Amino acid sequence: MNVLTYFNNKHDELKDDYIAVDGASAVCGNIALKIAQLLISHGEKPELLSITPDYDGQLVPKVYAWQDFGWDKHFVCSSSNLVYDPLLSQPVFLEDYKQNVFTKPVIVEVHANYTNLIEEFLPELEK
């Protein structure tokens, strides 16, 4: 599967709320790992990023700001300075992501680099 096809399907599924088609809450880490797997299959070397609030409180994505909704942490995939988060309609540059996706400032850290993804995370995913 093409990464943008998967990304667009996830965006369509999650654009109104972070609920999967089956009614369960979507798991951002699993989505980020699937995107990483697809990027690796196309020769890229992605990273898994963790997003946390740079304040006391929860992360609130602007697209869901009207809901009583937030997270303590969020995970996304990044490759070649682009962040793949299906909250958005398309991948965006990291600096734009950090400044424009959440209602308040965030801290972005590398949770797993390419080597960690291959050795620790992706062997457990279904191919």
For residue range 99-116, list pLDDT tens digits in order.
Answer: 999 999 999 999 999 988
Q: Determine if the pTM surpasses 0.95.
A: no
Residue 63 confidence (pLDDT): 86
Quote the percentage of the chain above a pLDDT of 70: 89
pLDDT at residue 121 in the model: 77
pLDDT digits (tens, 9 = 90+) for 70-96: 889 999 999 999 999 998 999 999 999
- Residue type present at position 90: Q
CA distance 123 to 92: 27
